[in-house]
Structure 1
């Protein structure tokens, strides 16, 4: 609605300029013709031409009012009304022209209605007004098309934003369930301080998660910090969990979508840690590298499910979430690739354009 109002003023201005130029050129051309014909009273003829131009502008405004009243009716209903309005305008303007020019020449006025003369007079003036209607509608259609394009663009942006938010807010229910179970276990084990620390970490993590705008990028250092908080929370459940972070300082300000790594880290915990925790320590590594104008971020973890090279641990839900976000945010300019390292490690690598936060 705001954009529609924003386009209304330029549209009105364009129609006014069009109408003024239409009638101004008409009056100027006829004045030049009067001068070439050596009109006996050229100054009076010019005044009459200007007066007729004002009358023509008024008649066009009347047709404009008729078009506004008709609104969005189908053209099969509007066309006859526009034709009648143009005929009426042509009749009125023809009489005004006759009286005005006859007066300017100093000739006597004779009102004699002849069928053939009336038709020959009305036809060109009717086409004249219809031509103005055509130009008027062309300008109006151009602005309506522009307005529709803006509205469509806005809807596409809103749909993209809604999709990003939906993907962003897909909080893993298993994480919540297991975290609360861990808090309960700490309390039952007589470790209230550890339970309180975990609750505080959970509160801070989800406060940041829910308050972060998924449409806005954050720097890589902040994204890594969020994942470290998450991993510290998970260490309460998995005391044998070890994680390493390898991010060069020059990439700390690299721009990435907020919580882009979250599904990969959750995937590493759920399908890596849960599957091997009974067999001993497990580790997760997060690394970032740059290659030209590209940024690569990898998450590597234990994985004992499956034996085939490239086979994915789990159900692919977290990986699909990341791919959807990359596609929505970057189109085809970003990818997520997965692979196995040996028989017991799983590796996911995000490749995206390297940009820096301002």
Structure 2
């Protein structure tokens, strides 16, 4: 299948949850033999208009990110690619409606992968984008509900979660580096303070904690740990690739999920697969609690004090380094869900 991804921003230029999901999906599809082109703003050096990386072709629609210019030039770029299906990121939303207009003449369906709106996205434009798509893919039920509120029909929205390399989980060594782990981009939504407050409640106990991730609020997080006098037992590991992250998770007993905003809690998924007891602080704009529903190694909490109590309880849980209950989140299973969604959208046009 020939698939055109529409995403002005790419992870190579602007790393966030949405661009990581786009890149991962494009590369998984390309690895399985699909012809994948990402229409984007140029992020590579040189004069060439196209650049190939990991079997994915990146085609420059504009030289730099420019919402208006990108939307006006996108129909011509789609005409050159002649895709079977268009996979568009929801932000900026004007690119979804531009893709829909072009795709109508190409007789090509548009599937929108909805992560979250950025600050500069208008609500009106997002509503038009939600209604324009033939199919909308959401990473969680929370995001699905949000898109439905924007006017997308119930039957048009499908939940396709994030995915992990479950073979890596099975095959990785165990690194006994920390008893408790927090992992996420350390930004304004990280709320790592809740984790630290819980740890401070447990000063009289023997424990080691690790924080995985980097970001603009990292220095503030380190300062908080110091002010709570727990910094001597909290190790900040920075960003780690899965090959280094998974052994740490397999050696830990508890994973704390406290972020205030999370369309899908990917690090939490890795932790659950690695056998951690997952303690999830409920947040109105986070879908993390969905992963621990009906999970015997997952608990929802509502405060740092409750988190501290559950950490103490989790210390008595059986050790586990692989939780096969999460094998269905493997890359191979999830990428088939994307292909099924594309196929249904194409067949709605009466041909494949």
TM-score normalised by length of structure 2: 0.19
Which of these two proteins has the greater Rg computed from alpha carbons? 1
Q: Give 1 or 2: higher strand fraction.
A: 2
Q: Return the structure number with greater helix share.
A: 1
**TM-score, normalising length from structure 1?**
0.19
